[in-house]
Structures are given as structure tokens and as C-alpha cells.
Amino acid sequence: MKPKKKIRVSVLTDDDMIDFLLSGSLRTLLRNIESFLTGESIALSLIYKHKDEEYHPSDLAEELEVSFPRVTSIIDGLREKKYVKKEKVPSAGRSYLLKITDEGIVEAEKNLKCLKKHFSGAKKEFGEENIQKFFVYLMKAAAKSK
């Protein structure tokens, strides 16, 4: 097995960066990130985060920034896997809350542990300070895009 080649960001030229932006690699990476950010894994993590609160499907749709039909599909997938259950709100007609199951808690904690492992690897690869700067940049860019 070949050792991984470390990327030396400081030596990239403008042409290198443009080539990367035009490559299929970036599109694939962005599709994978989008899939994670709007799929079952992130949804389960959000439900886990709000496990001690009243959390409605509309709250999940708002946080994921997806349509209600999309969030319904995600919830159905999580229910099929027995990670989430619906709990009727007696005083609210057809409304219901999302409740994470014990299996869902185990899976959500596994997902979060995996994310932390990726962050740890990124910190080792690129350095703590560079990762911090990158996230500050992403947060500023996200705030400007709203």
C-alpha cells in the first residue's frame, strides 16, 4: 500500500486551484457532502441533539433546509430502521413529535464518533490552526449566503 501523499496547500498555484475546481473530484466531494447534510445520518444526529425537547418534523425540515416531502422520506427511512418513532401530540390533531429510539441513540453516537475521528484526522493532516481557520471561513461564508 502506497503511503498517502500529504497535500501542501502553501505551494498551490492559481492554475492548480482552477484545475481542481474544474475537476470531477470537487463535484463528487460536494455531492457527498450534500448527501450527508440532507440525508438520514445528519437527520438522526439532529433528532439526537434535540432528544430531550419537543421536536417536530417541521423543525427537522427547517434545520436541514429541505422540503417537507423530503423530510417525510428521511423520517420514513429512519423509522424503517427503527432509529426513530413518531409520538402523537393528543392536543394537536395530526401533529406528532420525533423521538429517537435506543437503537437510534446507538447509531447517532456512532455517527458522531465517526465525524470526530474525521476531524481528528484532518487536524493531524492539516494542523489544528488551519482547520480552525477553515471552519471560521466556512461559517462566515455560510452567514453571508443566508
Phi/psi of residue 86, nearest 5 degrees: -95, 140
Domain annotation covers residue 3: no
- Confidence band for 97, pLDDT divided at 50, 70 and 90: very high
Residue 112 lies in a domain: yes
Which residue in this structure is represented by grid cell 421536536? Answer: 55
User: In angstroms, what CA-CA distances link 12 with 17, 18, 97, 128?
Assistant: 7, 10, 49, 20
Residue 138 domain boundaries:
12-145
Q: Is residue 6 part of a domain?
A: no
Name the residue among 59, 36, 65, 35 with its Cα closest to residue 47. Answer: 59
Is 140 contained in some domain? yes
Domain membership of residue 48 (yes or no) is yes
pLDDT in tens, 46-76: 999 999 999 999 999 999 988 999 999 999 9
Tell me the C-alpha distance between 90 and 75, whole Å.
Answer: 20
- pLDDT (tens digit, 9 = 90+) per residue, 7-42? 555 677 888 878 877 877 777 777 777 777 768 999
Indicate the pTM of the whole model.
0.73
Position 5 in a domain: no
Q: Please check whether residue 105 lies inside any domain of the structure.
A: yes
Higher pLDDT, 25 or 122: 122
Q: What is the CATH number of the domain that holds 81?
A: 1.10.10.10
Nearest to 130 by CA among 44, 9, 3: 9
The domain total for the chain is 1
Whether 16 is covered by a domain: the verdict is: yes
